[in-house]
Structure 1
Amino acid sequence: MTTEVYLVRHGETMFNQLNKVQGWCDAPLTVKGIDDLKRTADALAQVHFDNMYSSDLKRAIDTVHLIKNANVVSNIGKIRKLPEFREVFFGSFEGDDIDQTWDLIAQTAGMGHETNVQKIINHLGLREFRAATKKADPRHLAEDMPELDERMANAIKVLAKITKNERRVLVVSHGDFIKTLAIKYWNQSDGQHDIIFPNNGSVTRGLLHDDGKFEIVDYNLDPEDL
């Protein structure tokens, strides 16, 4: 059985609004974040899901419950939390100012001063950007690409196991993690270069086949396009 997977990015949070690094650290949804999510919830209200899941971070949990409560055609019980779908971990940079963090990473990579993360990634490539982030982290705890590759593969393996008899599921996750999944599993990505960052409340749709293979078929859809 092929399982259709709706990957939703959580709503805007206070750390998003304050321009702070937000990986495994957490912040509450903003009023704007909740309002934007209502559009997503309304767009999915008539879509039947056999189950709904979320990352174990509160911003994702709050998001999945908002979508669950608006859905009128699904009978969803307790939400299972999946730590495998957490955001990318930024180690010692968690909660720091984003521009200062990118600038430090750029300097560590020999680029001089640069606060535009897209320019840094375009210059270094995504794999080297992750490596530079880990190197710049004073405790070297930030996830690099080998660690992320392993976690993504495990996330898909776990999802395949728990959705074995489910035709359509929803999973609330995070922007950088969803983007990294898309770079690896989206047929319009070459697997090497960066792609646009998904919007808060956007939907990325994937197919999880019965042989365990995963592919993304739609990326960063606006709720109005569903």
Structure 2
Amino acid sequence: MINTIKRALLVSAVLFSSLHTCFSQEKDNNNSTVVFYIVRHGETLLNALDRVQGWSDAPLTPEGKKGAKALGIGLKGIHFASVYTSDLGRARETTQTIVDAKNEKDAQLVASTALRESCFGSYEGDHNKKMWNDIALYLHYTSAVALFADMRKTNKLTDALDAVKKLDTLHLAENFEDVRTRTQNWLRAIAERTTKSGGGNVLVVSHGLAINAMLSNISETHPAAKPLANASVCKVVFEQGKFSIVSLGDTSYMEKGKQAMEQ
């Protein structure tokens, strides 16, 4: 009888150990999930002047600083395992403002050229109207207005950037695939590295067109390219080797922060 009880206890212990291992592994897998908060920088002087801003740079306007600060306040309570930014000044300034508003003094900012905006070559600093009219004519539209009307129905961003590369007299401009390759390679590398470290939330500050290229085909449901507001957030989850897009151009965090600042 005693031997029977001992055997039963031994079997129970083995089963408990197996179940504990199973649940621990499931917990570890859940913990290894990576959640990216991908932010477009705050409004800059060149944004306000409606000029082309790729690798050329400009500081944040007072409104841009306010939006970045509001975003930081709206993101309070979300701990970031790591913080990354484009190496361009407007992205760095936005990132630092967010981190300061969240009061995360120990956060270390890692800058990367891979997160830069697309280079527009000879169009850098020129009026947006000039560049987009040139693109429209190259693509056989009568005007930029006609091109934009078509872009609302179909994703013409690839064609538009390809046109910029062809029209650029300095031969420095990037096409859509150039931007997508460098941004997506970076995103996957960081996602896999963070997964191995146990997962967590990751803050990334980049640029409107670069973010659209980065997210253009990473999930099974491909979102159409859309204009991203300054200080808006695209939330992307990386789990079991796959990306999924939760939201695009979300301004609710910034609006939440603005409400808190007004109280």
Match of 1:85 among 115, 129, 133: 115
* C-alpha separation in 1, matches of 2:88 and 2:244: 24
Aligned to 2:124: 94
Partner of 2:100: 69
Note if contact 2:157-2:225 (Cα within 8 Å) is conserved in structure 1.
no
Q: Which moved more, 1:175-184 or 1:23-32?
A: 175-184
Q: CA deviation at 1:181?
A: 2.6
Distance 1:60 1:124 in 2: 26
Q: What letter is aligned with 2:248?
A: Y
Is 1:168 the counterpart of 2:201 in the alignment?
yes
Which position in structure 2 is the counterpart of 1:218? 247
CA contact (8 A) 2:219 2:243 kept: no
Structure 1 window deviating more from structure 2 (152-161 vs 49-58): it is: 152-161
Aligned pairs for 1:199-218 within 5 A = 199-211=229-241, 213-218=242-247
AA of the residue aligned to 1:102: W
Deviation, 1:116, is: 6.5
When residues 220 and 197 of structure 1 are mapped into structure 2, their CA distance, relative to the original with a 3 A threshold, is same
Per the alignment, in what secondary structure is the counterpart of residue 183 of structure 1? Answer: coil
Which of 43, 49, 63 is 1:12 aligned to? 43
* Count of matched residue positions in the alignment of Structure 1 and Structure 2: 221
Output the CA distance in 1 between the equivalents of 2:216 and 2:141: 24
Identify the range of structure 1 (159-168 vs 34-43) with the bigger mean alpha-carbon deviation: 159-168
Contact in 1 for aligned 2:118/2:210 (Cα 8 Å): yes
Q: Alpha carbons of 1:92 and 1:162: their partners in 2 closer, same or farther (altered >3 Å)?
A: farther
1:72-117 deviation digits (Å, cap 9, x = unpaired): 4x56343110211111221111111100111111122222333576
Structure 1 equivalent of residue 8 of structure 2: none
Moved more, 77-86 or 27-36: 77-86
* Deviation for aligned residue 1:121: 3.7
Aligned to 2:80, the other structure's residue is in SS state coil
For residues 30 and 60 of structure 1, the distance between their equivalents in structure 2, rounded to whole angstroms, comes to 13
Q: Is the 8 A contact 1:3 1:208 kept in 2?
A: yes
Bigger share in helix: 2
Distance change (3 Å), C-alpha of 1:217 and 1:93: same
Q: Deviations over 1:102-148 (max 9, x none)?
A: 11111222223335762364578222222112112123322112212
Paired with 2:92 and 2:184, the residues of 1 have a C-alpha distance of 22
Partner of 2:213: 180
Of 129-138 and 11-20, deviating more is: 129-138
List per-residue Cα deviations over 1:153-195 (Å, max 9, x = no partner).
Answer: 31223322543424111011111111223332355535xxx43
Do 2:54 and 2:118's aligned partners in 1 also have CA atoms closer than 8 Å? Answer: yes
Q: TM-score, normalised by structure 2?
A: 0.76
Distance in 1, matches of 2:39 and 2:147, equals: 23
Cα separation, 1, equivalents of 2:145 and 2:92 = 31
Supply the distance in 2 between the matched residues of 1:214 and 1:186 (Cα, whole angstroms): 5
In structure 2, stretches of 5+ residues that fail to align are 1-31, 258-263
Q: Which moved more, 1:128-137 or 1:57-66?
A: 128-137
Q: Which runs of 5+ in 1 are unaligned?
A: none
Change (3 A) 1:149 1:195: closer
